[in-house]
């Protein structure tokens, strides 16, 4: 009887440990970053997830996000263009359109600080998030660089 209880205890603890390992691994592989703007976190977690939430809770969360939309915070952006030549204005517009088309959902910011036109991409909270998009951009924009800037509050 003792052996049976010990075996049962080991079996139950092994199943519990495996469940915890699976949960930790699944959390690592489904990290959410600010490049998922406008998408639900449930779409990242996959099928089979059901959330029962009252409409008033969802409305409160939406109000919270809307109230913070104007806030700024420290973060990272990727500078893909910086120039002051005669065609800099047209070139910066073309680059901004191209990136908006290639990376929908990621903010593209075209600014002018006399005499330079700049195009920056993203509102990344961490440098790691910025690196993921930077890897995709550096083939097309080899002079791209990651800069610490004031970014918009994530939505």
Domains of the chain as residue ranges with CATH = 72-152 (3.30.70.1070)
Whether the link from the prior residue into 115 is cis, omega within 30° of 0, is yes
pLDDT in tens, 55-92: 898 888 888 878 877 778 899 999 999 999 899 999 99
Task: Answer whether 122's CB lies under 8 Å from 77's CB.
Answer: yes
pLDDT in tens, 25-60: 444 444 445 555 556 666 666 667 777 788 898 888
How many CB atoms neighbour CB 63 within 10 A? 10
H-run or E-run covering 129? helix 127-137
Query: Per residue in 3-28, is it b (16+ CB within 10 Å) or e — as a string?
Result: eeeeeeeeeeeeeeeeeeeeeeeeee
Q: Which two tokens stand for residue 81?
A: 């263009």
């Amino acid at each position: 009887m003792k052996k049976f209880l010990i075996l049962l205890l080991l079996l139950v603890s092994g199943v519990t440990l495996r469940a915890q390992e699976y949960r930790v691994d699944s959390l690592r592989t489904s990290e959410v970053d600010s490049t998922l703007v406008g998408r639900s976190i449930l779409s990242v977690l996959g099928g089979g997830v059901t959330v029962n939430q009252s409409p008033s809770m969802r409305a409160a969360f939406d109000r919270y996000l809307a109230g913070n939309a104007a806030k700024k915070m420290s973060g990272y952006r990727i500078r893909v263009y910086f120039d002051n030549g005669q065609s800099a204005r047209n070139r910066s517009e073309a680059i901004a359109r191209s990136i908006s088309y290639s990376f929908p959902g990621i903010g593209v910011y075209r600014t002018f600080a006399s005499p330079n036109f700049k195009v920056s991409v993203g509102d990344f909270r961490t440098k790691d998030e910025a690196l993921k998009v930077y890897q995709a951009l550096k083939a097309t924009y080899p002079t791209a660089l990651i800069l610490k800037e004031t970014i918009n509050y994530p939505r």
